[in-house]
Structures are given as C-alpha cells and as structure tokens.
Amino acid sequence: MGLSKYFSTTVYIVIAGLALSGARLVSKNQEKPALFVTKQQSTLNLQNNFWQYFHLGQKRLASSLIWISTILESDVDHYKNKDLNSWMFLRFNTISFLEPKFYENYAFGGVYLSIVKDDLPGASVIYDKGLSIYPNDYSLLKDAGFHYYFEVGDYEKALPIYKKLVQINLPSPQIVSTLARLESNIGKKEDALNLLRDRYQQLNDKNSIIALKTYSSMYSLKAELDLECLNSTDSISKTCSLVDLDGERYILAQGKYKAVKDWIPFRIKTKKKKGPQ
C-alpha cells in the first residue's frame, strides 16, 4: 500500500513537471502581443473649470507648458469620434482659454486637427475661436476657408470667409475660383461671373493656364445664364443675350437653344470622401 502511494505521488510529480515544461516551451516559442497604450488613452487633460480657479495668476506660464508638452507629444493617429474629446483638441482648447491671444495655437492647432488628426469638429472650434480674435488674418482665414470648404463641406461657413479673403488682399486665382463656385452654388451666377471677369482682366498673359481656365469657367457661367434666359417660358419679355462669350450665336434646335461648344455647369468641387482608416 505504501508502494502504491509512492507510485501515485511520483506519477503526479512527473505529470506536473511535464505540464510545467510544456507550458514553458509554449510560452517561450509563442510571440507575446505587444502592449500599446495610445496618447488618447494615457493623456491627462484638466477641464477649464479647474484652470479657472487654480491657475494661481500664472495663465501664460501654464499655457506655455501645455503648448510645449503638446507639441513634443503630438501624434498622427486619426480621431474617428466626433465628440470634441480628442486629447490634442482638449489641449488646444485649454490653451485658448488660458491665453486667448496666442496666435500659433490657432494657426497650428486648426491645421493639425483638420489635416493630421482628422478631428473636423475640433478644428472648427479652434478656427472659430482664432477668427474671433484675429478676424482679418489672411493666413488664418485661408486655412479656415480650406477647412470648411474642402474638409467639412460647410459652404455656408466657407462663403463669408472667402469673401473676406478677396477683400483684404490680392487673392490668388484659386481663391477667386472657389468664391465664384460658392456664389454660383447659391444661385448668384451673375456675381460669380463678374468676379471671374474682374480677375481675368487683371491677368497680363491671357494665354496662361490660369487665364485659359478662368475663361473656360466664365464661358460656362455665361452660357448657363444665357440659355436659362433664352429657354425660359417668358423669354420674350426678357433681354437675353444671343451670343456666347466667344461671340458665337446660340443655336436653336428642336425648339431649344444650345451653345456651340460643350460646357460643364460651374459648381462646387466636392472632395472625395475618405475611406475607412
């Protein structure tokens, strides 16, 4: 009986040893998953209510420290939620609370959130705050206009920004074209045509790519306006132009006027939606 007990104990020890050896072998040969904690998960952000009462009169110092740490720790991970809770937005927003006139916070923060982090709601908040402090800053207006027009697709917000861009500085052809498309999109085709015509007249080289593209857009707008007038039911009571921008007469075919050349309606160019990240 003692021998049987000894034998059983030995078997148990051998089995336990084999199990431990097998577990060690499996653990040694199997690659362990890497433990990774994102900045979104690890970053501590204090609410503005805290800073309102505990800044100890050192708002500028606190905002500078937050700014430096944010730039050093910045990441490129896209933030897919639309809840204004990305860690970088919270940092930029806190800085705007502590030091509202810190220009770089808006100039850099808006672009970074919009283009790099893909946090469009966060970028909108930062741009709106920046423009409330610097309403006539050309660079900030240009970035905010691009954000609302191309990234967000909020043409109502983009329109006054592009109008101001044209007013405060000699605009680039791209800005003029964008404003013209916005005007055309809301039904102000004549304003869009006049805007492009003024820009075209300012160009010295009428054979340049920019001039030819502007002329093509002008042709489309004039053709659309003229043909809408000519083909309307009460065109007799209106003064409609019978020639296109080239001076060629519109063609009447099967009871409907059309242009000699093919043309595409001058509208907003929408950006292709981003695929899954």
The band of 277, judged by pLDDT with boundaries at 50, 70 and 90, is: very low
| Residue 232 main-chain phi, psi, to 5 deg | -75, 160
> What's the whole-number mean pLDDT along residues 238-256?
91
What's the predicted TM-score (pTM) here? 0.70
Please name which of 41, 104, 110 lies closest in space to residue 77, comparing C-alpha atoms. 41
Confidence (pLDDT) at 242: 92
Confidence (pLDDT) at 226: 93
Confidence (pLDDT) at 106: 96
Confidence (pLDDT) at 276: 45
Both tokens of 128, joined, read 């709106």
In contact, 129 and 96? CB cutoff 8 Å? yes
- Whether the pLDDT of residue 274 is over 60: the answer is no
Contacts of 92 by beta carbon, 8 Å cutoff, 6+ apart = 70, 105, 109, 113, 122, 126
> Of 46-55, 78-87, 106-115, 179-188, which has the strongest mean pLDDT?
106-115
> What's the whole-number mean pLDDT along residues 124-134?
96
Please name which of 212, 229, 221, 213 lies closest in space to residue 245, comparing C-alpha atoms. 221
Ranking 26-30, 96-100, 250-254 by mean pLDDT, the lowest is 26-30
Confidence (pLDDT) at 130: 97
- Whether the pLDDT of residue 275 is over 50: the answer is no
The band of 191, judged by pLDDT with boundaries at 50, 70 and 90, is: confident
Angle, vertex CA 269, rays to CA 215 and CA 241, nearest 5: 40
State the distance between the two ends of the chain, measured CA to CA, in whole angstroms. 69
Model pLDDT for residues 5-22, shown as the tens digit of each residue? 555 666 666 666 666 666
The whole-angstrom separation of Cα 234 and Cα 89 is 55
The whole-angstrom separation of Cα 129 and Cα 90 is 14
> What residue has token string 């653990």?
27
> What's the whole-number mean pLDDT along residues 149-160?
90
Angle, vertex CA 154, rays to CA 153 and CA 155, nearest 5: 100
Radius of gyration, CA atoms only, the chain: 32
Confidence (pLDDT) at 162: 93
Please name which of 104, 84, 108, 93 lies closest in space to residue 46, comparing C-alpha atoms. 93
Does residue 208 or residue 28 have the better pLDDT? 208
Angle, vertex CA 15, rays to CA 13 and CA 21, nearest 5: 100
The three-class DSSP label of residue 251 is: strand
> What's the whole-number mean pLDDT along residues 200-210?
86
- Whether the pLDDT of residue 210 is over 90: the answer is no
Confidence (pLDDT) at 173: 81
CA dihedral (43, 104, 71, 112) positive or negative: positive
Confidence (pLDDT) at 66: 86
Share of the chain above pLDDT 90, in %: 36
Confidence (pLDDT) at 99: 92
The band of 174, judged by pLDDT with boundaries at 50, 70 and 90, is: confident
The whole-angstrom separation of Cα 59 and Cα 44 is 18
- Name the average pLDDT for the chain: 82
| Residue 252 main-chain phi, psi, to 5 deg | -95, 115
Model pLDDT for residues 42-78, shown as the tens digit of each residue? 555 656 666 666 666 677 888 888 899 888 888 888 8
